[in-house]
Amino acid sequence: MTAQNDTTHTRRSILGASGGAAAALAAGPALAQATTAAKSPFTVAQTTIPIVGTTDVFPVRRIYCIGRNYAAHAREMGSDPTREPPFFFQKPTDAIQFVAPGTVADHAYPSLTKNYHYEVELVAALKSGGKNIKMEDALSHVYGYALGLDMTRRDLQRALGDEKKPWEIGKSFDQSAPIGPLHRVEQVGHFKDQRISLAVNSTVKQNATLAHMIWSVAEQIVRLSEAFELKAGDIIYSGTPENVGPVVRGDTILCKLDGLPDLSIKIV
């Protein structure tokens, strides 16, 4: 008798639950409207990047980064570029630190690291996206380009990699993505073989051309879109050439890419 009651009770619960779900489904459009009208208890800032030649800003949706996209850098990181293809990781959108041309932005040396590295990179910004984008269509999704830095807590990245843990804390921390303003494709065209370089305190450390990228920007878009649905507002850090290295407080980094203004930060 008790067992039967329990069964009845269980059945009622299930019926009740599914009845509730059905009611929620029936009220779907009304609920969706209510959600749209609902107020948030606080606001979350939208990360944006100024667009050169306009008063507009580019809203950033996701920051994708390409790892080991230059063979010489892949080798200095201890991998064999003929055996391991480049790969992706992400930074949080608010890791962006906008740096205006002609200025030297203060960049705080981050917590937890004793080996803080620079990586100068071309950044492509998308105005549209999709899944499984074809090579011939890839560049039509690019809105513009910027010069950026993929700042890295190298000691933490290495230690976590060695432990086969995610290296989030080595790559995806606050202000880890300094960037200059966006230049639209109509202004600067597409980037493929321009010279890219980085100096610390006027000594050149990184110096290469974009032609050395294993995956071109178009190929980066194709490969990324096989793993993620790309959308307007996504930006892609294209990877860094060889000779990455450390900076300490007081150092000034100067990045150059032919066709874009210089990008400079001071580590404080």
Residue 216 vs 240, nearer CB to Mn ion? 240
63 close to 192: Cβ distance less than 8 angstroms: no
Least distance in Å: CB of 68 to Mn ion? 8
For the chain, the first-to-last Cα distance in angstroms comes to 75
Pick 148 or 184: Cβ nearer Mn ion: 148
Query: Contact region for Mn ion (CB under 5 A) — 117-125, 159-167, 177-185, 197-205?
Result: 117-125
In the list 119, 126, 178, 264, the residue contacting Mn ion (rule: CB under 5 A) is: 119
Q: Which residue number, 150 or 234, has a Cβ lying nearer to Mn ion?
A: 150
Q: Of 93, 97, 240, 264, which lies in the binding site for Mn ion, with binding defined by CB under 5 A? A: 240
Distance between CA atoms of residues 256 and 195, nearest Å: 8
- Residues 6 or more apart whose CB falls under 8 angstroms from that of 42 comprise none
Q: Give how far Cα 96 sits from Cα of 60, 108, 183, 197, Å.
A: 9, 13, 16, 20
Q: Toward Mn ion, which CB reaches closer, 51 or 152?
A: 152
**DSSP code per residue over 22-85:** HHHHHTHHHHHHHHHHPPPSS--PPPEEEBTTSS-EEEP--EEEEES-BHHHHHHTT--TTTS-
User: What's the closest the beta carbon of residue 118 comes to Mn ion, in angstroms?
Assistant: 10
Which tokens go with 146? 């910027």
Query: Shortest Cβ distance from residue 21 to Mn ion (Å)?
Result: 46
For residue 224, give the nearest of 90, 48, 92, 96 by alpha carbon: 90
Spatial separation of the C-alpha atoms in residues 41 and 46, rounded to whole Å: 16
Shortest spacing between CB 69 and Mn ion, in angstroms: 8
CB of 89 to Mn ion, least distance (A): 9
Which one of 27-35, 119-127, 176-184, 210-218 is the stretch in contact with Mn ion (CB under 5 A)? Answer: 119-127
Going residue by residue from 128 to 167, which x/- string records binding to Mn ion, judged by CB under 5 A? ----------------------x-----------------
Nearer Cβ to Mn ion, position 143 or 237? Answer: 237
* Neighbouring C-beta atoms of residue 177, cutoff 10 Å: 28
Tell me which residue has its CB nearest to Mn ion. Answer: 150
Q: Which residues of 40-70 are buried (b: 16+ CB within 10 A; e: fewer)?
A: eeeeeeebbbbbbeeeeebebbbbbbbbbbb
In angstroms, give the least distance from the CB of 220 to Mn ion: 12
Write down the least CB distance from residue 249 to Mn ion, Å.
22
- For Mn ion, the closer of residues 88 and 127 by Cβ is 88
Number of residues that bind Mn ion (CB under 5 A): 3
Q: Which residues bind Mn ion (CB under 5 A)?
A: 119, 150, 240
